Chains A and B, each alone.
Chain A
């Protein structure tokens, strides 16, 4: 499994996509921006390009020729996706510390990048993963519909939660009011987001394996 992860990181993923989190992370410095867009660049750019590369380079056949199980192939691919997602989120989080220092008196119309916001980002990517990978492993090479559906779902989640954050007094208080400075509350939302992210990754791992076992390598 480790060898498959290294194969993806060295051969399958273009080095540019390891640098991309730095460039999207810098967008956190735009004052008062819609920061949900930052992790969404992963969905818009990295996933279709990387999965397109796997398809065009016959990665599926290559992996199947190696002495590995189908289970390992799925596990390795999910780990690679998660590694890239974590890179995007962690780099963006680091930049967000500077955002607060640079613009201490900013009035945020959209979510400010508090810890709770990153919890929401983890939830968004959890939804993205469960749709992307469960659809992708029906064939293990068709990625178009899977990326479209999963990206749409992630954007809908982001839009809906942002709307609720503005409109709902309860959520507004958590993200804009007194709750924003409540570190324990913010941290608990972040941890909840991470737990959902891990749980969804484990669920999609099981779904993907079941589907991939039925896939014929043509």
Chain B
């Protein structure tokens, strides 16, 4: 059974759409959900959480349709939106007292263990917390009500490298037992290279690929060569850049002829994202 199963989700806005978005997250894994700003990550996440009405498709969590079992499933989901604050002038303990009443499986002992571990001061107001601390507080709330699926929208955006690393370590610790699964959207791809098991890449509202991280990266090649040789592969390239030394371009591994003498390396997630975005630009 998948922790999260998104099938053909479509949402059409007048000037933007996500179309046939499908991907699956297995239990006990971290999936990185990547794409440039405006690619459709947040729209997809809000579809998963039933915050927007989709025009097609369905989302299942632990085998149950979100549209039919929203209340029950929300008891098992923890979510955090990196850039959104709630009741920021209220003290953490006030917010916790209110929040815990909504959850059947709330565990005070777990909550206080995370508060201690994350070094959160309950008497501080939300506005007084650093961005990293806010994410940790969201995680403490989610984990204290026994959330089995964490849906995190840009949780590391705005964090310094040390805080990001700290958070990534926490994510990896959380999935060790195999019970908790994490969907983690970000445009900071280096975070995912450190901790994600799977990658789902969305570009311009469509899923480009959703697979195991290394398999995903290995399915592309970053080619470089002199400008004169560009014409040999130009048609197969997803996009390319030229400079005084020649060209660099991204190609599907299946389209690449290894017998050609072009230099080919496995691209990073960031490079894949950049070249896909560049393709989008050239289409405009």
Contact = CB atoms under 8 A, between A and B. Distances in A.
Interface string B80-112: 010011111110001101110111000000000
A183 interface: no
Contact of B99 (A58, A66, A217): A66
A6 B70 CA distance: 22
Given A57-B87, A58-B86, A66 B53 contact: no
B79 A69 contact: no
B74 interface: yes
Given A61-B81, A216-B53, A66 B86 contact: no
Given A6-B101, A65-B79, A214 B86 contact: no
Contacts, number: 60
Interface residues of B, number: 27
Nearest to B72: A67
B102 A11 contact: no
Contacts of A58: 84-87
B134 to A, nearest CB: 13
Q: Which range holds the interface residue count of chain A?
A: 20 to 34
Interface string B2-39: 00000000000000000000000000000000000000
B209 interface: no
A66 B102 contact: yes
A217 to B, nearest CB: 4
Given A10-B98, A66-B102, A67-B74, A217 B87 contact: no
Interface string A37-78: 000000000000000000001110110111111000000000
For the complex, would chain B's binding face be called helix, strand, loop or mixed by DSSP majority? loop
B162 interface: no
A217 B52 contact: yes
B86 A67 contact: no
Given A57-B88, A214-B53, A69 B98 contact: no
Nearest to A8: B98
Interface string A124-138: 000000000000000
B120 interface: no
A3 B53 contact: no
B103 A11 contact: no
A45 B68 CA distance: 40
B86 A61 contact: yes
A65 B95 CA distance: 14
A7 interface: yes
B86 A59 contact: yes
Given A69-B71, A217-B46, A11 B98 contact: yes
Contacts of B89: 57
A216 B51 contact: yes
B94 A10 contact: yes
A216 B52 contact: yes
B114 to A, nearest CB: 18
Contacts of B84: 58, 61
B49 interface: yes
B266 interface: no
B80 to A, nearest CB: 9
A33 B163 CA distance: 62
Contacts of B79: 65
Contacts of A62: 86-87
Contacts of B101: 3, 6
Contacts of A217: 46, 51-52
B214 interface: no
B75 interface: yes
Contacts of B51: 61, 64, 216-217
Interface in A183-218: 214, 216-218
B277 to A, nearest CB: 23
A11 B95 contact: yes
Contact of B74 (A10, A57, A66, A218): A66
A135 to B, nearest CB: 21
A7 B98 contact: yes
Contacts of A64: 49, 51
B102 to A, nearest CB: 5
Contacts of B86: 57-59, 61-62
Interface of A: 3, 6-7, 10-11, 57-59, 61-62, 64-69, 214, 216-218
9 contacts: A57-B87, A58-B86, A66-B99, A67-B74, A68-B74, A69-B71, A214-B53, A216-B52, A217-B51
Q: Which 3 pairs, one residue from A and one from B, show the smallest C-beta to C-beta distance?
A: A67-B74, A217-B51, A62-B86
Given A11-B98, A216-B52, 13 more contacts: A3-B98, A57-B86, A57-B89, A59-B87, A61-B51, A61-B86, A65-B79, A67-B70, A67-B72, A67-B75, A68-B74, A69-B70, A69-B71
